[in-house]
Amino acid sequence: MTPGWRLAAVLRDPGRTEHFSARQWTELFAVARAEQMAGTLAHRLDGLDLHPTVQRLVDDAIASAGQVRLAALWEAEMARRALAPLGVPVVLLKGTAFAAAGLSPSLGRNIGDLDILVPRERMDEVEAALLAAGWEWVKPDPYDDAYYRRWMHELPPLIHRERDRMIDVHHTILPLTARIRPDAGALLADSEPLENGLRTLSRTDLLVHAVAHLLADGDLAGGMRNLWDFHCLVQDGGTMGLAERARHHGLGREMARAGRLSHALYGTEVPFEWQALKPLDHLYLRRLTARDGWGRQGRRLTRLGFYVRSHWLRMPPLMLARHLWTKYRKGYRPVG
Amino acid sequence: MRHVAHLGIGPVGFRIGSDWRGPIAQLETLYRDYPKPSIPDFSVHLFAARPWRKYLRPSVMIGGDYTIPDAAPLPLAQGLLAAEMGMNLQMALAQRRYLLLHASAVERDGKAVLMTGISGAGKSTLAALLMARGWRLMGDEFVLIDPATGLAHGFPRLISLKNQAIAVAQAAMPEGRFGPLLPGTPKGDIRHLVPDARAIRAMAEPAQPALLLFPRFGFDAAERPVPPSEAFVRLTQSSTNYVHLAERGFDALTRLVQSVPARAIDYPDTDSGIALVEALA
């Protein structure tokens, strides 16, 4: 069993660690840290009869994740205050949403940037209000800035000059250049209010977004964590209505694949038709678990394949060629 | 990783892997009397950026559980320095159990003197020379303050001597164990000094902070008290994890500056520096 697979196995069944060697423990934490899942792992292990050194690592990771959660919720509150006068619906996404709504993926989860979803026709007002409240542009490159504004599903990232925290303002959940066009209006219309006036996506749309993020966008980097989100959300609320909602957003195939991968990797309870892997799924699993005992990414060719695929999904061929050529001339190299 | 070493420094354990034998052999020699915890807190690895760079103009990239993007590689001759930098990086980026102060510290009779300042202020040199005069060296890079107890924990890694300090320390400790001379590093010439047997033996024992010093090298001898407010601000700047620890960090630092006297000292040469520290402690 490879170190990547072993992390998945422990997340699925923490009791497996009972006869772990020192080396296996060491590799487990190295992989979990590389996948940004140290806090998640720690919460899974806490309560077992652990070696004192391991218990110390667990305690540190839990305390650290608690602080990350507090800072993320505070950042959401800062955005709420900045945007409240506009009367715009503000939907929290990803990690911050899980924490704010008390959903189980948030347990120990690392939360980086603040991601929010607002109606596209209100983006200019939102941007102006954030700039007035102390957020600033990060991307100094005019090509990147123009690219974001024309083709992406979000504003170019903003960073707060005092708190040094990033915010991503989305108007939908996939780039405008992608072949799949989720129904952003429905995401907003069916979102649910939190006590503080912010909102989260509906139960099924949380899963739709998790799947879009994991399988219809990006190169599967950080995929173990994103798939763990999927697993936890399904454990929380089941799969009722899921396939239908995913089809509505054009993500029926991706939803089914996420179900199969999550079942294979984490043992998620899914409908019968998602329980048997299809041939291509093995390549996805190979990519997801590509970590050695030092947390290093192996399997360069598989990763390069998924990197190319991520761009293939994201834009038409001619545009892709132009984009990669521009980025190459600027010195960017994939898979370092 | 082909070559691996485990070592414990103060309350922290490391696993260090390397594509080359050289840096690991040096670590094993210099850290030979240190404990070897089997489950480390952090992993560091030294690797070649491209497979052929393992042999051809070998240059060492620093990897680990926590890394910064775009860190410049070092020549293989400076592999030992790369390992030390990798360990420091894990502490600076991810140590959350203790409030981390970028400071050196020595201890006598259970009381710790903490010395902090910008690079070149003489933290390492003063700590090394005080060790030679019978103080217990707690560390020359980081002091770890336990937010629960307020006690200072040592982190006595190899003492990193730079430029002129190398000759000064060699003169004061002719019997000392020194690492190889590393010329032309990003910080000039560097030579590591192994902490003495007492520093290694007692490295797990915390001490009560008793004095905070802000030394400055190259000025006429002078000394002034530093009010808690100023000490607080200066220490937030010399802490790598103050912001991340949030309320725990604030409480630990407030307690430290309110309970421990602080002095700024200027010194023109190491002899007068040592005399000033010993007069105040």
**Of B151, B119, B26, the residue nearest B77 (C-alpha):** B26
B78 and B133 both lie in a single domain: no
C-alpha–C-alpha distance, residues B253 and B245, integer Å: 11
**Domain membership flag for residue A22:** no
**Domains in chain B, number:** 2
* Residues B48/B59, Cβ–Cβ less than 8 Å: yes
Residue from B7, B16, B39 to probe the interface with A (highest A Cβ count within 10 Å): B39
Q: How confident is the model at residue A335 (pLDDT cuts 50, 70, 90)?
A: low
B148 and B189 both lie in a single domain: yes
Average pLDDT over residues A74-97: 97
CB contact under 8 A, B39 and A26: yes
pLDDT higher than 70, residue A334: no
Residue from A21, A23, A26, A292 to probe the interface with B (highest B Cβ count within 10 Å): A26
C-alpha–C-alpha distance, residues B111 and A86, integer Å: 58
Residues 272-331 of A with CB under 8 A from B: 294-296
Per-residue b/e over A290-315, b at no fewer than 16 CB within 10 Å? bbbbbbbbebeebbebbbeebbebbb
Distance from the A335 Cα atom to the nearest Cα atom in chain B, whole angstroms:
12
CB atoms within 10 A of CB B242: 19
C-alpha–C-alpha distance, residues B83 and B63, integer Å: 9
Q: Which residue of A has its CA nearest to B47?
A: A296
Give this complex's ipTM: 0.93
Chain B CB within 8 Å of residue A30 CB: yes
B166 and B75 both lie in a single domain: no
Query: Beta strands of chain A (E only): which ranges?
Result: 91-92, 114-117, 135-137, 158-160, 166-170, 192-193, 199-200
pLDDT higher than 60, residue A144: yes
Distance from the A259 Cα atom to the nearest Cα atom in chain B, whole angstroms:
30
User: Measured between CB atoms, which of B17, B38, B96 is closest to A60?
Assistant: B96
**Domain membership flag for residue A226:** yes
Least confident of A49-53, A308-312, B187-191, B266-270: A308-312
**Domain membership flag for residue A193:** yes
CB contacts, 8 Å: A34 with chain B: 65
CA distances from B83 to B25, B187, B220 (A): 12, 15, 37
B195 and B171 both lie in a single domain: yes
Q: How confident is the model at residue A88 (pLDDT cuts 50, 70, 90)?
A: very high
pLDDT higher than 80, residue A317: no
Q: Which of B66, B94, B122 is the last residue of a domain?
A: B94
User: Measured between CB atoms, which of A26, A33, A71 is closest to B15?
Assistant: A26
Instruction: Specify the pLDDT at position B276.
Output: 92
B276 and B210 both lie in a single domain: yes
Chain B CB within 8 Å of residue A25 CB: yes
Q: Which of B77, B94, B111 is the last residue of a domain?
A: B94
Residue from A67, A163, A294, A335 to probe the interface with B (highest B Cβ count within 10 Å): A294
Instruction: Specify the pLDDT at position A309.
Output: 80
B105 and B90 both lie in a single domain: no
pLDDT, greater one: B58 or A318: B58
**Domain membership flag for residue A54:** no
User: Measured between CB atoms, which of B43, B96, B246 is closest to A26?
Assistant: B43
CB contacts, 8 Å: A163 with chain B: none
B52 and B114 both lie in a single domain: no
B218 and B89 both lie in a single domain: no
Q: Which of B48, B69, B94 is the last residue of a domain?
A: B94
Chain A CB within 8 Å of residue B17 CB: yes
**Domain membership flag for residue A55:** no
**Domain membership flag for residue A307:** yes
Judged by DSSP in three states, A297 sits in strand
Q: Which residue of A has its CA nearest to B245?
A: A67
Beta bridge partners of B15: B6, B43
Chain B CB within 8 Å of residue A50 CB: no
pLDDT < 70 regions, chain B: none
* Residues A91/A208, Cβ–Cβ less than 8 Å: no
**Domains in chain A, number:** 1
B63 and B169 both lie in a single domain: no
C-alpha–C-alpha distance, residues B228 and B141, integer Å: 22
CA distances from B276 to B13, B77, B114, B127 (A): 35, 38, 14, 13
DSSP states of A31-77 = HHHHTT-HHHHHHHHTTS---HHHHHHHHHHHHHHHHHHHHHHHHHH
**Domain membership flag for residue A201:** yes
For residue B76, give its domain range.
Answer: 3-94
> Mean pLDDT over all residues of chain A?
92
B135 and B168 both lie in a single domain: yes
pLDDT higher than 80, residue A332: no
Residues 132-161 of B with CB under 8 A from A: none
pLDDT, greater one: A219 or A315: A219
CB contacts, 8 Å: A63 with chain B: 96
User: Measured between CB atoms, which of B63, B65, B97 is closest to A60?
Assistant: B97
pLDDT higher than 70, residue A92: yes
CB contact under 8 A, B246 and A30: no
B110 and B133 both lie in a single domain: yes
CATH number at residue A314: 3.30.460.40
Instruction: Specify the pLDDT at position B115.
Output: 96
Chain A CB within 8 Å of residue B73 CB: no
**Of B196, B201, B207, the residue nearest B107 (C-alpha):** B207
Instruction: Specify the pLDDT at position A139.
Output: 72
pLDDT higher than 70, residue A52: yes
Chain A CB within 8 Å of residue B229 CB: no
For residue A232, give its domain range.
Answer: 70-329
Chain B CB within 8 Å of residue A332 CB: no
Chain B CB within 8 Å of residue A47 CB: no
pLDDT higher than 70, residue A336: no
- Please report, as a single letter, which amino acid is at residue B195: P
Q: Which residue of B has its CA nearest to A51?
A: B39
B208 and B274 both lie in a single domain: yes
Interface A-B, measured as beta-carbon pairs within 8 A, has a size of 43
User: Measured between CB atoms, which of A60, A67, A294 is closest to B43?
Assistant: A294
Instruction: Specify the pLDDT at position A17.
Output: 97
Chain B CB within 8 Å of residue A45 CB: no
Judged by DSSP in three states, A164 sits in coil
**Domain membership flag for residue A151:** yes
- Please report, as a single letter, which amino acid is at residue A236: D
Q: Which residue of A has its CA nearest to B11?
A: A53
Chain B CB within 8 Å of residue A63 CB: yes
Chain A CB within 8 Å of residue B38 CB: yes
